[in-house]
Chain A
């Protein structure tokens, strides 16, 4: 599994209230949520983003509420992968549980700039910055989590186990 796209870069402590403001949580419809993704810090994001793009954040990405609507909104907006220095723990497990690829990599978070073209190899954890000609090594997932991702989400992995 791989991803390649243009980077949308944000700073530290990107919280779930700016990823998807609570005023839109009266629906669980994925495409409705996607329309308002990042709205409170970047009104242009939804117009700029293309399918397959990559989001890069700083430390503590996804902090705040447990709303799964946050990774859902990011995924439904077209983003294939989020790379950050570190993730807030509920966002981290939510992303895995719904099948949004996320990678922790402080070096990539620091060196990648907005608009760079980046490709990601999820098997090796290697992130290639094609614009700058650099490579960064992300933390690979433990086997337990790979199993959930291979099953395309937590509930599928439970179903597989039960059968």
Chain B
């Protein structure tokens, strides 16, 4: 019986010729990731259980991004604990203030993930790297501790849903609209425990940034991982960044899928997820009655250079609406500098936006843009759960950078084709 792309990567990682859905396996890891919130819990477990060495100091990444630059004393203590642990074991890829970016934008940019890799991260959006043809998935801190100690993790081999992409995106429609559209179609548990495999002629119409955004939100459909077939664009992206060998896997022709869903990219409109679940999607054009208080453009989902570019193009020479706060957060220092050179930062500041150093801050209601009672935000982030960005009565509408920028200009949720 044929295997899906994910199954082939997992079989290779387990040293097996063949695996089937439901099989429990132990696999070798290419990379183990943690951040400043999840790593301290992993370190506590690691030390409590008496482990005294890491499996490979070049295959562990720690990125201080959630509450960093430290938001308070407790956060500072947590970062310090990570810094000491990384120092003690001479961890190669420890990223702190100045070098750090939002982990899932940073790792691909640094060439730390490659096609065919098996990556676990103590962060649910670790599924992002499937955009490059890797198997990558979010786990908890105990799995991270076990991964750091042994270089292995246990998995139940998932079945997969195949998304057959056709057509071409309309102007002002991006990867974010695609994934919101898909989650709206299948629901927040529509891919529970499963792989989402993206394939078809439409893949080549999506930029690597679009693919990273789509794979990033696979978890919002409950998926174990999202994964794209590797093409020339992937290889060109990886060639510039990865300095080691890697292997490209493709699904077998006779691979068995739980179901196949056809997606015509050309039929997707600018899409918004309404409170309080990412599956509550509507076309942006239907929400022009929704007044907003704050816009956030950034995060591991949409803080990449193409995201800032489209936002800057919409905001250029204009000013955001009175009473609206707009926070722009380039996801990595490299993206920040690129945006500066391209003049986007000037454009944002002339339009009345605040531009921040990289941080996850507002996305999870950590700091840097907390919402007050009954406030409404349009955010390019990934979750709109109750209280996610602040007060329990606040509301979050998830959207693309184009919708977010257009909405900042008008003060209501706006289809970017109308500004």
B-binding residues in A (CB < 8 A): 13, 15, 17-18, 21-23, 25-28, 40-41, 59-60, 63-69, 71-72, 86, 88-90, 93-94, 97-98, 142, 144, 153-156, 158-159
Contacts and interface: CB of A to CB of B under 8 A. Distances in A.
A41 B140 CA distance: 23
B365 A66 contact: no
Nearest to A40: B387
Contact of A26 (B78, B154, B222, B392): B78
Contacts of A63: 188-189, 222
For A17, A28, A153, the residue with the greatest tally of chain B CB atoms inside 10 Å of its CB is A28
Contacts of B78: 26-28
Given A22-B364, A26-B75, A90-B139, A40 B122 contact: no
B41 A69 contact: yes
B192 A98 contact: no
Given A17-B388, A18-B386, A98-B142, A28 B365 contact: no
Interface stretch (B66-74, B233-241, B257-265, B397-405): B66-74
Contacts of B66: 22, 25
Nearest to B277: A13
Contacts of B383: 15, 17, 64-65
Interface string B48-68: 111100000000000000110
Contacts of A67: 37-38, 140
Contacts of B226: none
A154 B124 contact: no
Contacts of A154: 142-143, 146
Nearest to A59: B189
A22 to B, nearest CB: 4
Interface of B: 24, 37-38, 40-41, 44-46, 48-51, 66-67, 71-72, 74-75, 78, 121-124, 126, 138-143, 145-146, 149-150, 154, 188-189, 192-193, 219, 222, 224, 277, 364-366, 383, 385-388, 392
Given A21-B365, A155-B49, A27 B74 contact: yes
A15 B142 contact: no
Contacts of A86: 189, 192
A15 B385 contact: yes
9 contacts: A13-B277, A17-B385, A22-B37, A22-B366, A65-B364, A69-B37, A97-B140, A155-B146, A155-B149
Contacts of A41: 386
A66 B385 contact: no
Cβ-closest 3 pairs across A and B:
A94-B140, A26-B74, A68-B140
A141 to B, nearest CB: 11
Nearest to A162: B150
B222 A158 contact: no
B145 A155 contact: yes
A97 B49 contact: no
B138 A90 contact: yes
A109 to B, nearest CB: 13
Nearest to B81: A28
For A27, A67, A68, A156, the residue with the greatest tally of chain B CB atoms inside 10 Å of its CB is A68
A126 to B, nearest CB: 24
Nearest to B40: A28
Given A66-B123, A155-B45, A60 B192 contact: yes
B385 A93 contact: no
A153 B365 CA distance: 31
A28 B41 contact: yes
A10 to B, nearest CB: 12
A89 B192 contact: yes
A66 B139 contact: yes
B64 to A, nearest CB: 13
For B48, B50, B154, the residue with the greatest tally of chain A CB atoms inside 10 Å of its CB is B154
Contacts of B71: 26
Contacts of B38: 66-68
A86 B219 CA distance: 15
Nearest to A72: B41
A41 B385 CA distance: 11
B366 A23 contact: yes
A66 B44 contact: no
A144 B41 CA distance: 24
A13 B44 CA distance: 29
B146 A25 contact: no
B44 A22 contact: no
B24 A142 contact: yes
For A18, A65, A69, A86, the residue with the greatest tally of chain B CB atoms inside 10 Å of its CB is A65
Contact of B387 (A17, A65, A71): A17
B385 A68 contact: no
Contacts of B188: 13, 60, 63
Contact of B150 (A13, A59, A158): A158
Contacts of B277: 13
A17 to B, nearest CB: 4
B140 A26 contact: no
Contacts of A22: 37, 66, 364-366, 388
A93 B387 contact: no
A26 B76 CA distance: 9
Contacts of B387: 17-18, 21, 40
